[in-house]
Amino acid sequence: MNKELELEQENARKNSEIVIIRLPNRLAKREGLLLTKFFNHQGNPLTKLKDLYSFMDELFSFVHQFTPCKKGCSSCCYYDVSISELEIQYIEGATKIKRSKNPKQSSTFHGTPCPFLKAGVCSIYEYRPFFCRQHVALTRTSIWCHPDKCGTGDFTLLKFSEILRSYNFIIRENDNASIFDIRQIFQ
C-alpha cells in the first residue's frame, strides 16, 4: 500500500472515533434502542424497513460532515451490492420498476455498474438498498473507494451495530429472506 492510502487508512480510523464522540446523545440513545423498538413494533417488515431507512437518513445527515461521500461520487455503485427480497419488493412498489423475469446467476459483479446508476447518479436514491445506505467512507477523500483500489487495505467504514442488527432482524421477518446482488434482479 502506498503512503497516500496509508494516510487515508489512518484518517478513516481517527474519523470513526470522532463521529462516535460527537454523535448527539439523542441519536446515540435512539440507535442503542433500535433493535428493541423493531422487536416490539407492530408493523409489517416493509413498514419497519422504511422506519429504519428514515432513522438512517437522520443519523447520516449528522455524519455528512465527516465523509467525502456526495452526489456524483459513484465508486461504490461498481461494487457487489447485496439486496434482500424485502428491499426488492420495496423498490418495485415505490418506483414501479419490476424485477427481471430472467434473473442472472449468482456471480461477482465487482467493476460492473449498478443498473440504477444513470449519468453517475443513483436514479432510485430515495429507495436505494441498505447496502448503499450503510456504505459511508470516513477517509479524507474518496480515492480509496475506487473499485480498483478498495481491495488494497482495510479501511474503517461507518458502522452502527444496532442499525445492522435491526436490518438483519427485519429482513428475516419477511417470509422470504433471500439475498441477491442487485444486478441479478434488476437489469
Binding-site ranges for ligand SF4 (CB under 6 A): 77, 81, 114, 116-117, 122, 124, 128, 132, 182
Q: Toward ligand SF4, which CB reaches closer, 28 or 121? A: 121
Distances (CA, A) of 37 to 31, 54, 87, 163: 10, 14, 20, 11
Q: State in angstroms the smallest separation of the CB of 77 from ligand SF4.
A: 3
Shorter beta-carbon distance to ligand SF4: residue 35 or 86: 86
Least gap, CB of 14 to ligand SF4 (angstroms): 26
Residue 94 half-sphere exposure toward CB, CA atoms < 13 A: 16
- Report, in Å, the least distance between residue 182 CB and ligand SF4: 6
Task: Characterize the bridge pairing of strands 179-181 and 121-122.
Answer: unpaired
Q: Which is nearer to ligand SF4, 124 or 145 (CB)?
A: 124
Distance CA 1, CA 3 (A): 7
Residue 64 corresponds to which cell in the numbers above? 455528512
The smaller minimum CB distance to ligand SF4, of residues 35 and 56, is found at 56
Give me the least distance between CB of 32 and ligand SF4, in Å please: 27
Cβ atoms of 185 and 100 within 8 Å: the answer is yes
